Structure 1
Amino acid sequence: MIVDTIEEDTNVFKFEKSLTNKLKYDIDSYSGYTPNFNPRNVMFDKPLDQSSRWATNSSSQSHFITLKLEKMALVQTICFGKFHKSHVCNMKEFKVFGGMSLNGMHEILFGGLHNDSEAETFPLKCVRKGTMFPCKYIKIVPLASHGGNFNTSIWYIELRGITRGDIVETVKFNFNKFKELQAMKLTLKHLRQKNFVHDFHSLLESTKIQLEDPIISRLYINFLLIILVSEGNFNRAENMVMNLKDDVFLDYVSNTPYKPFWRRLDIDHHPDKRPGVRGGHQMCIDPQRQLIYLLGGWDGAKDLSDFWCYSIRMNRWSCISMDTRVDGGPSPRSCHKICFDPKNQCIFVLGRYIDPDIRPTSNLESDFFKYDINTRKWHCITPDTKVSTWFKLYVEK
């Protein structure tokens, strides 16, 4: 039944594949739909039928469709079927929520779909702070369509997971126990914060809960309750804080050396859907949207001018342009510099490497470009910074 635990000291388990099956569901609720494109259409996989889909009645991000499972289950994957060819209404970005009740749902997936005819399957992470939970309801929230301002369509939804009663009940029991523990910890913290000392210690003694590291508990009692509250001894409190570096955390710091941890990202895509091998390329990151941009480089034979975007959340590459020069952007180049402006959502590009053998016959102008992420357009700020009375191109000799 249970193969093993995925992580130590957690209630996250790995199960035999033979226990997984297709889950039956019905439509519980939805935000609305366009006439003739009923939400129930997502229950049937008909890729050749233009009308077999749920279509929202506007392009806003307030739409949703909630599925009610026939049996409570450990939902493991969700599959989105598509039309037999690309479609402007195809869902591009979405979120999935799951839970045992409509009022207790948690985000279990943030992802996106390609605009093609291939069905896509995603694993669902039904885990809260190291504890798995079963689901009775699954809610899908479309965030964007491939057509920009077009309504979003979902053609088919398939859920797979485990419905075996003893497994589901065990996971449900562990999750309810986890929620009770979290509620008790919040109650204890509230009592201590409000200085209900007697009630706090009474509840702590009766439940035997370890609220935090014992050192922190002793520190809180000695520091806040005795030194500051009871005695009002601020000098002693100040000395205690100054001595923390010598006592409380010394053992922990000395036994916790910094270690780098590298993990190779396996991106399950065709080679033509991700950047090729290269050097001298440049990358920048949008920390808010969790996106990494890659521009140009040298493939061993020539400079490149392709432009790519990698989604950290979705672990997926997408090609913005195979040749930025065609889009009014930079020419092929390597060893240039790029930077990201998070406030204005744009990328700046400056400089490039020119081989010493061809420098006398090459254009040594120092062009300066800006890429607007929202409009997806390039703008040449200046074809030559020297002419713009800024600075000239520096050549290494």
Structure 2
Amino acid sequence: MSYASLAAHPCNLADFTLWGGLSPYPLSMEALFEGGLKNDAMPERFEVPIEVGGKKGKAPLPVKYLKIDCHVAANANYSISIWHLFFEGYLPPSLLSPSSLLPPASTLVSLYTTHRSRTTNHLILAHLRRLGPSSQGIQAFNVLYDSLDPTTRAAFESPLCRELHEKLVREGEWEEAERILDRGKEGGLFREWTPGGGKGKTVAKWERLFLPASAAEAKHSWPTGRGGHAMVRVGRKILLFGGWDGSRDLGDLWEWDLTAPDGGWRCLESGEAAEGKDKRPGPRSCHQMVVDESEGWVYLLGGRKDEDAAVGGEDATMADDVDDRPASPRGPAGADPVPSAPALRSGLSGSMSGAAAEDRWRSDFWRYKAVGPGRGKWELISEDTRGDGGPALLFDHAMVLHSPTSRLFVFGGKNQPFEPSSPADESTNSTTHPTKTRYSGLWCYDLRRKKWSFLLGDPQPPSESTTPSPINSDRLLSRAGHALLLDPSPRHPTLYVYSGQRNEQYLEDLWAIRLASLSSAGERGRSGKRDEGGVREEDDDETWWRQGTVLDFPLLSTPRSSLSPAAAAASRSLVDLSALPASPESSPSRLGAATAESSSPYPTILQICRLWPPPPTSSLQLASASALVPPPGFTQRLVLDPHTDSWTLLTGLIRSLPPTASYGGGMAYANEMRESCLAGVWRRVRVPDQTSREGKGWRWEKIEEGRGVGRTLVEEARGVTIPEGRFAAQVVHDPLRRETYIFGGHPDVHGSVDHRLSDMWRLKIIEPSPDEALRMAKFLVRKQRFYELCQTAPTVIALQYLQNDLSDVVDHSSPSESASFRRCMAALLSAPPLMNVDVSLDASVELPSRAEKDVLAAEAYRERHRLWEEVCTFFPSEERQPEEDLEDTSRLLRVWQMTGKRC
């Protein structure tokens, strides 16, 4: 359905509902669409359903009459006008061939009528079952159920649901009911209790890690508070180096043992200079470290140095571990064509004046042997990476390392020193050397050849074009304080760039940089990556990647004049869809190549694609307005769970909008913002049964945070159960235990300037699972059994059941469940006085299996049936009886007669 108006007008339709059916009578119509329209001249298109019914059985939806309920105009004081409305047909893919014919209209109407009749019978069956035996509802249910055709009976509910109702509600066989739930788990009744499955809730469990009691008196037993430090995991150890404590840079090295029961930090190096010791990196902050798991080396690069200190001398105070965010106008963003490594080195001759200044801004590059022979040894790889054809001295950058190819990637960050020649050069300049722009681009270091490669920088705008900006940029812009994630998929390793800061703006965009695979066999047609169940996923994201840019860079030694127009475009621009090829196979450097494997130190970038926000022309643009996404921020920390491919995001420094401010387009305006530290955990998970057209099958969700199961008494005594908001902290992920650790950081911009945090937290993401659903269902069953025991069995028996059986299935770390468990004592204390008798508690005493006939049998049925319906909500909707109640029919009819609208 498409709607359009000639121009903005107060009479334009703003809110409406579309109905359709075989009769003009309102009660016989189906709701097709409900929504609103924008008050402009742009056509809007909406999809309307062509089928009704869920997974129990779909039927075609024939429409002869349409009705539009117009609710509100663009201006509520005006009448409503519809200017232009038209419908487009739909042809299923199976009927695209000329020989295929649509079923006749009589067949479609018959299928729809059968569906309505089946649905009506299901509603009647559910109603009769709710009436219970006291109103002869069960007898009528059995008669009607046996008279229906097998198809209608099979679509009503799962056989296990029917058996559960028989044993739980009618007979009160509690143990047998739990065994049926066990069989239901094996049969897939809890299949929707998975990440992204639609049921259950993902919870972030926090546990604060304290100093072990045995080490409380030891010296150097815990790192001091800091921010802007670096932290990595090497095997079963966590290494922490450097940081800013609020007054000075730190150079100490610490180790956390993940295998120890209580953990605990151990100081490996104090950071104090001593004569006769081997060379080691000096104190620093805002640097980065990555790990080569195959060799056991930890690589360290970057560090912030205050430019004022370069003038004032060594006693000058260092800057904070947060970017100072200068409020200067944004200039044009551009980058040189990709230079060769010799060009980078030659471009630096004469750029520095004075030996002292040159020494101060040297970008030293180190690696540390964390495991294996030579453990504990520092090695200086380069005294100045800029002089070796690499990046300048960086801070607030991001690094990842791909061990299979022995390549280290560095993206973003700020170059030091930065001296713009004019206000227009403050971000980048098309004629500026890539190490002298404000923001650094994407660099690659080959660990085997020990060579740097400059892959891309800020995009160079074509002539007579507007400068790309975070407001509406189709190009990947450099930034600082962002998150960089590596998905080491063997098919195509992919770098993900998320959020960050550029000039005065916080970015909300998400970009993917797809690299060429290692092998030459089948760039396409190869199986996708393995999902959690071991089954290869279909490659359903090719449509998204086609929207991006193929960037197979030509070899840098190739003269520009000899390149084809497409290759020349690839060498100077990041996004130019009219000039670049449409597939990786036809990219410039791949034409004529015999293999995808390359001996060049420069990795092949196949595509750069913006995943969020969607382009304005995309069908996802409308959905993006209401999509739940994390707020843009600075130093947001992102980790990848290799088991599920899901992401976990810990928010950092954000700028919150006042209620009257506008927001959109993937950026935030600095002059409208109020900075604060936001404590929060977000999860990016795959959505089952969703195609790439609907969003590539991924979505963000805000995770509820709660207290973990460890050290609860200590945490409660200290009055803190979750970490406070912070930024400039560091996190590491343990894929073996699927836990995330966070240490330190700056607590808040409104707090003490010199205060830094020194707390250590462990985060465990508890995802929905069939086992958790089974436990919760048994908790409900046993709680109802306990209530009946309080009325029908000796109190001491009920108390024993409460302490043993019911307590065994309670999640005591859940506030709601623990509160529900504690409320059970009220039922025990209100038990009838005749139940206060002494009985033996040995195993010879059997618990009552069903309520006595003379003890409110009808009330017991209603309570058990309510319990059964609640347990059935754990199952998929196609496996249980309808949730709608026929008792609401008379009320709905009165509403229709009075208003003609839905209630």
TM-score, normalised via structure 2 length: 0.23
Instruction: Report 1 or 2 for greater relative contact order, CA contacts < 8 Å, sequence distance ≥ 6.
Output: 2
Which of 1 and 2 has greater Rg? 2
Structure with the bigger percentage of strand: 1
